[in-house]
Structure 1
Amino acid sequence: MAWTKKLTQLNDVLSDLVPNKDGITKYVKAAGLKPQHINESGNAMDVWSNVLSEAEKNSKVDELVKSVLDTYPDNQFLKSALFEKEIDFSVAPDIDDTSDWQDVSEETLEVLTMGQSTLLPVNFLAKGVQRSKSVGKVEIKIGSNRYSVGTGFLFKIKGIEDLFFITNYHVINDKNYIERTRIIFDYELDIEGNTVPSRSFKIDETGPWYCSEIKENDATIFKLIDEHNTLAEYGWIELKEIEIAQNDFVNIIQHPEGKMKQISLYHNIVTNTNERIVQYLTDTLKGSSGSPVFNSDWEVVALHHSGGGSKPEEPELPKGIKSRNEGILINKIIQFVKDNHKN
């Protein structure tokens, strides 16, 4: 069986939606597959891989997707996977392949249940809206009707005049895709719930192209073409070295699943940090890769790049909380830009 990119991404999405092996069998039966033909050894991702292989062999991939859609009817990837015109969400790296995940501590659980104040000044909202202007959707055409999507943002670094855009290396890293890529700003709703007119920009293929692989900074940095001098309307986020600690709060502005711009504001607690990464409970979805991770002062602390389901041995978290999300510490990104741009 040819293991296509579509199946790879289905495996990724299904493993996120149903990360417990015991929950997979009902979907196997609903799709008309025989559970006895499925190898259930390994973790949930391994089992889903075996299920998809069996479904492909029996021409029942659509039936399998439909069975999971009955439980998750709003999942955009599952819906698009049923049609030829599909969105090809960028696959984030497996967090287990890039970092050590540390258990959520009892202290963090206490903070999560409001063991400390979460009050903020009202100007927090206005500052957030201002920062959000610089966040854009990354859309890469990879077929006649297929797109890979991610998130990114405009930024500057003190001492460097250039205006850059950043997203993840796993979102785009091949210059051959530059012509097929557009960065879309204002893809969002206004205060009345109406669609805001969006504007798209192309990548400047003659400008800087700084790439850092997944196991390093998982970042691709470039400039945008500003033919009509309108890019200034979206401002930029000034990056500066920052300190972030366990139990701090972080918020993420993003384009999950390629949808209109959204923000995560609930149960946003940092669970682990080191000199390379920041790990947090903040919600993300496919397509959120490359989003800025902010502290409560709206300073960028990390570049979001990966997530995954909680492990069985981790402490039990309140319902609805996805405990495994991670970003690259922004200090690493700043140093990476300085090291490359001076050359």
Structure 2
Amino acid sequence: MTEGRMEKIEQQALARYQKLEQQRAMEATAAAGPEAMNVRISVINPHDSLATERIIHNSDLFPIAYLEGGLNAGKAVCRISLRNHQGQIKGYGTGFLISQSLILTNNHVVDTYDTALNAVAEFNYEDDVNFMPRTIVSFRLEPERLFITDEALDFSIIAIQEKALSGALVSDFGHLPLLPMPGKILEGEYVSIIQHPQGGPKAVTVRENEVKFLSDDFVHYVSDTEPGSSGSPVFNDQWIVAALHHAGVPDPNDPSKWIANEGIRISSILRHLEGVRGNLDAAESRLLDVLLPQAPIPDDGLLPIEVGELAADWYSDATGYDAAFLGLGKEVPLPPVRNGADVAETLDGGTKLDYTHFSIVMSRSRRLAYYSAVNIDGSQLVSVQRSNDKWYFDPRLAREFQSGPELYARNDLDRGHLTRRQDPNWGRDAVQANAHTFHFTNSAPQHKALNQKTWLSLEDYILENAAANGFKVNVFTGPVFREDDVLYRGEFRIPAEFWKVAVMAKEDGTLSATAYLLTQRDLIGDLEFAYGQFQTFQVPVALLDKLAGIDFSGLQLHDPLANLEGAGGRRIESKRDILF
């Protein structure tokens, strides 16, 4: 890269910095609002009890694990050695692994295919605790597998050799996950940079850079130190990558000094990748799968199901469904299951499983949920991207009462969320709530050919209105268990129908409880069971009481269909058909 190119980048950074400085001077305050704070807090480990205090500058205390976290994060950072065709050194930059196959750096460090082809990523170029150099491990870059670069956002993503000549694996150095949501840092927070300054041994500026300005694509952080090396990861206090460092902001009065640093927001880079993904071939696109949320395609059940189990104490702070959530001095308790003897007990003798903002009651005989119950707060919703499809067994419930891959693998059954993934994602615990929805206890088998368009539109309508109007909603969802449900693999009966009840407070302070049924039966007589066209109906709450075996008697007084003569069911084809 020429000096003229770097000078241009620095002048562009200065122009952006001065523009934001002028804008802030005209504003009364740049303090983060409640929504921004909720997004920021959603990516904090709930066990870090001091994190929020640090963000609002009431504490400088860190758990000792903070230092270990930084050491682990630094393993994925490397020096990039730039060479010509003869192998002679042309310069250095910094980069870091963002998956087991990909490395991220600046466009102005690696700007062309040929530059990448001759570059080498050097890990462990650092001193140990005795200030002795560690053994460097080198990997070549492989742009022929993937090379994506953008000059405007100043980034390059390149595939990296997975095994070095020494036999070392690049996966031994881990990688730094990239989270797509904005809001991983706030103005006034401090960030850290792990880097190879001037191509030297790995170094770190620990919490020395105060975030001055955030714009759509860039972050400006003020420091008394020299600008960090190009291509370095910029971390928040949880060692989550918030930006890609790319330039210092020169002092307009003294070009030999710096007034700030500038980085490119990770959310902007991921958004750009989503836009260019359609231009890639299948092999290239697969390399991006770990970075980008998958397109919402039906799960054909033929793909491997990644299964995990978490320690029981991971659920210790999950309060579950809150009966008093709607306020008004009225509680909406979890409805009793009429066949109480079939409710699966947890290992501690309970009758429900509490997750973040939702709870589940399980059936012993069906090994599925009788229902899930979730609180949705429309005023605090946080957009959390779907990062993977790992599903978990719940260690608090005997495995014999949970249906896992033995039900869903190698067939046409989807793992359908009962509590929708997006519904509990609000407030400070949004990320944890999102992860909690990926439990087999929250899953129900649904045939991939099931036509859920209207059903999904109904769910979207409930969530979107909660968000738009900032109100709270309780949603109960479950299957209808019938004796004639199809027996599958000799042990599972597949539900043919699903129901939902939404409870919300109306403007006059009264409750509204509306019930819905997704069915392929005609509500008049039973049809021969076959996976065909499903339809959605708004039905009296009392009908679900009979069909699902759930005692909803406490909600029937708030049902708009309760007093309509002959109300057996209203076909729902759009939101206009819903009666509140």
Q: Do both proteins adopt the same fold according to a TM-score greater than 0.5, normalized to the shorter chain?
A: yes
1:224 is matched with 160
Code of the residue aligned with 1:196 in structure 2: it is R
Code of the residue aligned with 1:276 in structure 2: it is D
Whole-angstrom CA distance in 2 between matches of 1:92 and 1:237: 29
**1:330 offset after TM fit, Å?**
0.6
Distance of aligned partners of 1:245 and 1:138 in 2 relative to their CA distance in 1, 3 Å threshold: same
Correspondence 1:1-343 to 2 at 5 A: 9=3, 91=6, 93-98=8-13, 99-101=15-17, 102-103=20-21, 116-142=58-84, 145-156=88-99, 163-213=101-151, 216-227=152-163, 228=167, 230-240=169-179, 241-243=181-183, 244-265=185-206, 267-282=208-223, 285=226, 288-312=229-253, 322-342=258-278, 343=280
**1:245 offset after TM fit, Å?**
1.9
Q: Does structure 1 conserve the Cα–Cα contact (< 8 Å) formed by 2:116 and 2:158?
A: no
Where 1:338 maps in the other structure, the secondary structure is helix
Q: Does structure 1 conserve the Cα–Cα contact (< 8 Å) formed by 2:73 and 2:239?
A: yes
**1:148 offset after TM fit, Å?**
1.4
Distance of aligned partners of 1:235 and 1:267 in 2 relative to their CA distance in 1, 3 Å threshold: closer
Where 1:237 maps in the other structure, the secondary structure is coil
More helix by share: 1
**1:95 offset after TM fit, Å?**
3.1
**1:278 offset after TM fit, Å?**
0.4
Counting matched residue pairs gives 240
Code of the residue aligned with 1:174 in structure 2: it is T
1:28 is matched with none
Q: Does structure 2 conserve the Cα–Cα contact (< 8 Å) formed by 1:133 and 1:234?
A: yes
Distance of aligned partners of 1:287 and 1:293 in 2 relative to their CA distance in 1, 3 Å threshold: closer
Where 1:323 maps in the other structure, the secondary structure is strand
Larger Rg over CA atoms: 2
Where 2:246 maps in the other structure, the secondary structure is strand
Q: Does structure 2 conserve the Cα–Cα contact (< 8 Å) formed by 1:92 and 1:289?
A: no
Distance of aligned partners of 1:93 and 1:128 in 2 relative to their CA distance in 1, 3 Å threshold: farther
Q: Deviation digits for residues 64-113 of structure 1, max 9, x if unmatched?
A: xxxxxxxxxxxxxxxxxxxxxxxxxx9475333255114498999xxxxx
| TM-score, length of structure 2 as denominator length | 0.38
Whole-angstrom CA distance in 2 between matches of 1:265 and 1:337: 30
Whole-angstrom CA distance in 1 between matches of 2:58 and 2:253: 27
Whole-angstrom CA distance in 1 between matches of 2:115 and 2:10: 25
Code of the residue aligned with 2:175 in structure 1: it is W
Where 2:264 maps in the other structure, the secondary structure is strand
| TM-score, length of structure 1 as denominator length | 0.63
**1:334 offset after TM fit, Å?**
1.5
Where 2:208 maps in the other structure, the secondary structure is coil
Of structures 1 and 2, the one scoring higher in RCO (CA 8 A, sep 6+) is: 1
CA RMSD of superposed structures (Å): 3.1
Whole-angstrom CA distance in 2 between matches of 1:185 and 1:285: 23
Distance of aligned partners of 1:307 and 1:286 in 2 relative to their CA distance in 1, 3 Å threshold: closer
Where 1:268 maps in the other structure, the secondary structure is strand
Whole-angstrom CA distance in 1 between matches of 2:191 and 2:7: 20
Whole-angstrom CA distance in 2 between matches of 1:184 and 1:203: 11
Distance of aligned partners of 1:127 and 1:218 in 2 relative to their CA distance in 1, 3 Å threshold: same
Distance of aligned partners of 1:283 and 1:232 in 2 relative to their CA distance in 1, 3 Å threshold: farther
Where 1:340 maps in the other structure, the secondary structure is helix
Q: Does structure 2 conserve the Cα–Cα contact (< 8 Å) formed by 1:167 and 1:221?
A: yes
Whole-angstrom CA distance in 1 between matches of 2:203 and 2:12: 28
> Relative to structure 2, which stretch is displaced further, 264-273 or 97-106?
97-106
Whole-angstrom CA distance in 1 between matches of 2:133 and 2:87: 26
Whole-angstrom CA distance in 2 between matches of 1:209 and 1:324: 30
Q: Deviation digits for residues 312-343 of structure 1, max 9, x if unmatched?
A: 49xxxxxxx94221000110112223333453
